[in-house]
């Protein structure tokens, strides 16, 4: 099953009052295992960045000034998202901004039936505990030492690990067979880089008929093999 774990950074808390999405990071999971494919993009919000928001994610007006508009990359993003479930932490917030941006460029919203909220999952698994991303990463031993400020792709990577832990741990994604792992990063502001790595299926170790006959002929040539001593005695 394909799922996308994603996170956003914004100019504020409410798209209804003019706040805009400025960054999105997405991580692809297949059967709860990271495939190596991701999507990351920065967007020019066409408005000033409030001081309080910049302190959270570090994205300044100057940094975002030469970034593409969300509308220019919406098709690329939607293609990556596909029609699979979308996982986010406090997902209503991220879905709200994503759908607000889609509405501004005349596109259909992402249906809320696709939403998986890891905050809601955490509340069921750990009632009464702290459910922030930082607190849950600490609980599950997920390394976040490199998280100085919020960043959509970094937070999506942390959340992907957390989501797996909240839903049963990594063993749920283990399987035997041939798996193609595509290591791809799709970045909205640069060219697409693609690499592929194929993990070969486990070889069947069944002897052929010819091998069985050769083995039988070899055994018949042995003089008083040790494994027959008990039977002969």
Domain definitions of the chain by residue range: 2-202
What pLDDT shows up at residue 58?
94
What pLDDT shows up at residue 85?
98
- Which residues are marked as active site? 150
Answer yes or no: is pLDDT of 219 > 90. no
Q: Are 135 and 104 in contact (CB under 8 A)?
A: no
Q: What is the DSSP letter of 143?
A: -
pLDDT tens digits, 153-208: 999 999 999 999 999 876 544 444 444 444 444 455 443 343 444 444 545 556 67
What distances in angstroms separate CA 213 from CA 69, 168, 203, 205, 219, one per listed residue?
A: 71, 48, 21, 16, 10
Quick one: average pLDDT of 69-82? 98
What pLDDT shows up at residue 170?
61
Q: If one looks up domain 2-202 in CATH, what number appears?
A: 3.30.420.10
Torsion 95-77-113-115 (CA) sign? negative
> Where residue 133 falls among pLDDT bands split at 50, 70, 90?
very high
Quick one: average pLDDT of 36-60? 97
Q: Among 5-19, 95-109, 134-148, which stretch is predicted with the lowest mean pLDDT?
A: 134-148
What pLDDT shows up at residue 113?
97
Q: How far apart are CA 139 and CA 44, in angstroms?
A: 36
| Reported pTM | 0.73
């Amino acid at each position: 099953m394909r799922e996308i774990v994603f996170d956003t950074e914004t100019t504020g808390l409410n798209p209804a009052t003019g706040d805009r999405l400025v960054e999105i990071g997405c991580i692809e999971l297949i059967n709860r295992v990271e495939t190596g494919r991701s999507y990351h993009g920065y967007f020019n919000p066409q408005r000033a960045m409030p001081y309080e928001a910049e302190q959270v994610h570090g994205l300044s007006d100057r940094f975002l000034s030469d970034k593409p508009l969300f509308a220019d990359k919406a098709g690329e993003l939607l293609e990556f998202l596909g029609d699979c479930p979308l996982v986010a932490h406090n997902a209503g917030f991220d879905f709200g901004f994503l759908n607000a941006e889609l509405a501004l460029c005349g596109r259909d919203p992402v249906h809320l039936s696709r939403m998986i909220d890891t905050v809601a999952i955490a509340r069921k698994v750990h009632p009464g505990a702290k459910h922030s991303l930082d607190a849950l990463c600490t609980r599950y031993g997920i390394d976040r030492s490199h998280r100085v400020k919020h960043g959509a792709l970094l937070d999506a990577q942390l959340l992907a690990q957390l989501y797996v832990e909240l839903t049963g741990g990594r063993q749920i994604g283990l399987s035997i067979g041939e798996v193609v792992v595509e290591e791809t990063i799709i970045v909205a502001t640069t060219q697409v880089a693609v690499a592929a790595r194929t993990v070969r299926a486990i070889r069947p170790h069944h002897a052929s008929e010819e091998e069985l006959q050769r083995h039988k002929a070899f055994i018949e040539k042995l003089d008083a093999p040790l494994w027959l001593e008990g039977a002969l005695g």
